[in-house]
Structure 1
């Protein structure tokens, strides 16, 4: 059975794209939400198993553009944890 849990990271805009790419590579991320420093949601996107390359290119381009415009931001990461014993 898979459990879902959330993590939150506070980053500067220039760190945002690097962190998003890092999270995608980990593979157990289900959803990423980006908030500005006031808590307003700026962008949210689901990640499903098998999403790679060309499908992610527009999302990463949008994240890169967003990173250039904002100072500090918070990303919430919804992860899936597989607890098979």
Structure 2
């Protein structure tokens, strides 16, 4: 039987956190500039709060992601006041 390498590459984190962020090539996409630079954000919340968020999004006819993006944009506008 052969021994496995302890660092097989599966679910390993890069040593440099900045290497997690990828910058897209703006010329390769016709999307708006704001859509080119996205990042995933993970937040731990209670099941009850998750349920309330999902219900609110459903009642408003939007996705949870879109609703939370709008909320965060309102709470944390760009330095020049834009909400994009």
Q: Provide the TM-score with structure 2 as the length reference.
A: 0.26
Normalized per residue, the structure richer in helix is 2
Q: Provide the TM-score with structure 1 as the length reference.
A: 0.26
Normalized per residue, the structure richer in strand is 1
- Largest Rg, 1 or 2: 2
